[in-house]
Amino acid sequence: MNSVLQSLLDVFREPSVIVGLIALLGLLLQRKSASDTVKGTIKAFVGFLVLAAGAGVVSGALTPFGDMFQHAFGVQGVVPNNEAIVGKVLTDYGSQAALIFFFGMVVNVLLARLTTFKFIYMSGHVALYLAAMIAVILIANGFSSWQAVLWGSIAQGLITTLSPAMVQPWMRRVTKNDTVALGHTGNFGIATSGLVGKYLGDPAKSTEDLKIPKGLGFLRDTTVVIASSMGLIYLLVTLVAGPGYVESKLSDGQWYVLWAVMQAGTFAAGVFIILAGVRVVLAEIIPAFKGISEKLVPNARPALDVPIVFTFAPNAVLVGFLASFVGGLIGMGVLVAVGGTIIIPGIVAHFMTGAASGVIGNATGGRRGAILGAMANGLLITFLPLLVLPFLGDVGLQNSTFSDADFGISGLLIGGAVQAGHIAVIGLVICGLIATFAASAIVTRRRAATPETPAQESQPAS
Q: What residue ranges do the domains of the chain occupy?
A: 14-441
Mean pLDDT of 117-131: 86
Ranges 4-18, 209-223, 448-462, most confident: 209-223
pLDDT at 324: 94
pLDDT at 458: 40
**Contact 204/366 with Cβ under 8 angstroms?**
yes
Within 8 A by CB and 6+ apart from 68, the residues are: 237, 238, 241, 245, 246, 250
Residue 320 has pLDDT above 60, yes or no: yes
Instruction: Provide the percentage of residues in the chain whose pLDDT is more than 90.
Output: 35
φ, ψ at 400 (rounded to 5°): -145, 160
C-alpha distances in Å from residue 190, one per residue of 46, 226, 359: 34, 21, 9
Instruction: Provide the percentage of residues in the chain whose pLDDT is more than 70.
Output: 87
pTM equals: 0.76
Residue 309 has pLDDT above 80, yes or no: yes
Which of the pair, 210 or 343, is modelled with greater confidence? 343
Residue 10 has pLDDT above 70, yes or no: no
- Among 188-192, 348-352, 367-371, 413-417, where is mean pLDDT lowest? 348-352
pLDDT tens digits along 22-71: 778 778 877 788 998 899 889 988 887 887 787 678 767 767 876 787 77
Rounded to whole angstroms, how far apart are CA atoms 114 and 436?
Answer: 10
* Average pLDDT over the chain, rounded to an integer: 83
pLDDT-based confidence at 455, cuts 50/70/90?
A: very low
Within 8 A by CB and 6+ apart from 460, the residues are: 169, 170, 172, 173, 194, 198, 364
φ, ψ at 385 (rounded to 5°): -55, -35
pLDDT-based confidence at 451, cuts 50/70/90?
A: low
C-alpha closest to that of 79 among 333, 385, 354 = 385
C-alpha closest to that of 123 among 172, 160, 95, 154 = 160
Ranges 118-132, 156-170, 218-232, 264-278, most confident: 156-170
